[in-house]
A and B are shown apart, each in its own frame.
Chain A
Amino acid sequence: MRIIVTDQNGVVHELEALEGWRVMEVIRDWGLNIRAECGGSCACATCHIFVDAEWQDRLNPPTDEEEDMLDTLPDVETNSRLSCQILMSEDLDGLKLTLAESARQEEAA
């Protein structure tokens, strides 16, 4: 099972994913640039991603809680999701997404 992730610098990565993992956890585990500050409890919106158009309707729609957190993002789009709220399953094999600028880890000067 794989997901295809474009990072904030435009580099495309194919990541091996495991059933039942949160997409955020897969991205973090492979060491891509994702803050995921709250660790997956839908409380911070720092695991923000954009889902490719072809995949948008194939995901469970965001819960009210996720929508509320999306409200706190200044760079939200119609295909914005929080990657901690998407669980990997066979159906999502090949999921394509892009990491949002607002998910980038801060680096000290």
Chain B
Amino acid sequence: MSGNEIVTDVIIIGAGPVGLFAVFELGLVDLKCHVIDILDRPGGQCAELYPEKPIYDIPGFPEISGQGLTDNLMKQIAPFGAEFHYSQMVTNVERLDDGSFRVTTDAEETFVAKVIVVAAGGGSFQPKRPPVPGIEAFEGKSVFYAVRKMDEFRDHDIVIVGGGDSALDWTLSLQPLARSLTLVHRRDEFRGHADSVNKMRALVADGKINFITGQLARLEGEDGQLSEVLLKTAGGEIGVPATRLLPFFGLTMKLGPVADWGLDLHDNSLVKVDTEKFETSEPGIFAIGDINWYPGKLKLILSGFHESALMAQAAKRIVHPNERVVFQYTTSSTKLQKKLGVV
């Protein structure tokens, strides 16, 4: 294959707390990892859903925030030099003749590894789609859930929907190059940064943008090209000319491509594993953390940590079948302490 292929021991899908701790456990048994995540930073749900919220059930931490736990884990796994590949989603997994796997992402990176660890939590984070009839036909043409190139919005009539930082930030950034810009939110209060809210209100006061309290109702247009957005407001339905629509309702999790890799699923939404190795129905592919299922499963971070440790022992036997696995403690083993860089 092409020379761009990254060859490693283990591919970990998901950089949430459990994926991160898997780097640690795999590192202790000398396995090198590459970690792939759809978000642009580590932490998974901890970083995306509740960075500021305290977690009370991590052993040894009476209270720690989602971000605090993520930061600590990153520090804890630093000695193992895992490489991180952010903002991409694993789309394809195929088994090669020698039993290893080729993993491809939507950013067209390719990896080859003997073991895959699916630590994808609730699946991949994807933008929430407004329940507007026929919106699919406009997506990627005139309705976007992210701004990749600002130039694609130049001289357009832009409608932005939402009340958080994404909606506010893009309102401020796109206003100078838009032909017109309308911000729509369900109420006249915003949860974004106060500074952004003030700047936005100043633009409204100067007549540079419109703000409408209301919600998306319908879209008008042809061949994926939007011409008008119809809004439901307290005063009835109103139409706003629009050639670009940016709905910002945050992210939600979808199981996504994992469902297509031929793994046995539970309830069509979780990956079945054994409780000895946390291996899926496909030998060499493990699933740990919130994404797996076995009788008695509890979706707790601590369950995922336990699963990481057992998975690592099994992964070691796959990657180095001829090496004896000696179980050791970090408190007493100088070998392990050397790996951790503490002696």
Contacts and interface: CB of A to CB of B under 8 A. Distances in A.
Nearest to A71: B163
Majority secondary structure, A binding face: loop
A7 B238 CA distance: 31
Most B CB contacts (10 A, CB to CB) among A38, A71, A106, A109 go to A71
A102 B128 CA distance: 9
A68 B165 CA distance: 12
Interface in A48-103: 67-68, 70-76, 101-102
A37 B186 contact: no
Given A45-B250, A106-B254, 6 more contacts: A44-B252, A67-B187, A71-B185, A74-B128, A106-B255, A107-B268
Contacts of B186: 70-71, 76
Contact of B130 (A45, A71, A74): A74
Interface string B201-215: 000000000000001
Given A71-B162, A72-B164, A74-B128, A43 B49 contact: yes
A76 B185 CA distance: 11
B45 A74 contact: no
- Interface size range on B against A: 20 to 34
Contacts of A44: 49, 252
Interface of B: 45, 49-50, 53, 122-123, 128-132, 162-164, 185-187, 189, 191, 215-216, 247, 249-250, 252-255, 259, 265, 268-269, 299
Contacts of A68: 191
Contacts of A41: 50, 53
Nearest to A72: B250
B232 to A, nearest CB: 10
Contacts of A11: none
16 contacts: A37-B49, A44-B252, A46-B252, A67-B189, A70-B186, A71-B191, A72-B249, A74-B128, A74-B132, A74-B247, A75-B130, A76-B186, A101-B131, A106-B269, A108-B265, A108-B268
A20 B151 CA distance: 53
A37 B189 CA distance: 25
Nearest to A70: B186
Contact of B269 (A39, A72, A105): A105
B53 A37 contact: no
A36 to B, nearest CB: 11
Nearest to B234: A78
A20 to B, nearest CB: 18
Given A74-B247, A101-B131, A37 B259 contact: no
Contacts of A43: 49-50, 53
A25 to B, nearest CB: 14
B132 to A, nearest CB: 8
